[in-house]
Amino acid sequence: MNTGGSRLMNRRELLFQTAPACALVSFGLQKPAEVLAFGTQDSGQDAHKFDEVRDAKLSPRAVTRMQYSQFFSFIQNMQAAIGEPELIKLLNIHSTAVGKAQGEQQAETFADTEFQTFVAQFRPPNYAGSLTHEVVEDTENVFELRVTECLWASVFRDAGLDGEIGHAAVCNMDYGWPAAFSSKIKMEREHTLMQRHAYCNHRYLKIT
């Protein structure tokens, strides 16, 4: 999907192009479809065995579980070593940086930094492969989503890492993202599936 000719990044992707795919995914920085694409590009030349095209035929849930397995091990090891409060603090620092980088990168590549340009990326069917969501308010200054299913919340829950840990690792980035895109946009949210609520209510506001 594209906005103003710019390539949209998934909320978990950063442009650390020199890092191995497994490292990117382990820290939630790249989306499943892009990682799978590393093994499905045909260059037209004889490929090394590591680069041979193979059809994985994995579901999005299975792919995400596989990609996050190292990150889950990291979280569990750090939790045992430093305790949950300190772990959550560090995960919040990391996810805040992820969100800031996401917003800044989009601000540079999108056609403009207007409110409607930013929220357009969240309108269904965008993210249909990872979210079940609907727009519940859409005005000039307010855009609110209600998310009733989230792939990341599901996978973190299956790993026993949802709640405040999962929120710090993943959902916290959503606050810094719009603010880094434009100082005239902010997000408010009272509920998340990751924190075991019935839904997420992402509410984006244009600051006037």
DSSP code string of 139-203: -SSEEEEEEEEEHHHHHHHHTT--THHHIIIIITHHHHHHHHH-TTEEEE-S--TTTT-S-EEEE
Q: Is residue 3 part of a domain?
A: no
Q: State the pTM of this model.
A: 0.76
Helices 84-109 + 60-82 axis angle, to 10: 130
Q: What tokens were used for 182?
A: 């434009």
Cα separation of the two ends of the chain: 29
In a domain, 145, yes or no: yes
CB–CB of 189/203 below 8 Å?
yes
Q: The domain that contains 69 carries what CATH number?
A: 3.30.1380
Write the pLDDT tens digit of every residue in 79-136.
999 999 999 999 999 999 999 999 999 999 999 999 999 999 999 999 998 999 999 9
| pLDDT-based confidence at residue 26 (cuts at 50, 70, 90) | very low
With respect to residue 5, please indicate whether it lies within any of the assigned structural domains: no
The C-alpha angle with vertex 72 and arms to 197 and 200, in degrees rounded to 5, equals 20
pLDDT bucket at 44, cuts 50 / 70 / 90:
low
> Is 58 part of a structural domain of the chain?
yes
Has residue 45 been placed in a domain? Answer: yes
Cα(108)–Cα(15) distance, rounded to whole angstroms? Answer: 13
Instruction: Band the pLDDT of 22: cuts 50, 70, 90.
Output: very low
Distance of CA 199 to the CA centre of its chain: 17
Residues 192-200: what's their mean pLDDT?
A: 98
Q: How many domains does the chain have?
A: 1
Q: Which domain holds residue 152?
A: 12-206
Q: Is residue 162 part of a domain?
A: yes
Residue 62 is assigned to a structural domain of this protein: yes
Centroid of chain to Cα 95: 10
Asked if the structure places residue 17 within a domain, the reply is yes
Q: What's the rounded Cα separation, in Å, for the pair 171 and 45?
A: 41
Q: What are phi and psi of 7, to 5 degrees?
A: -80, 130
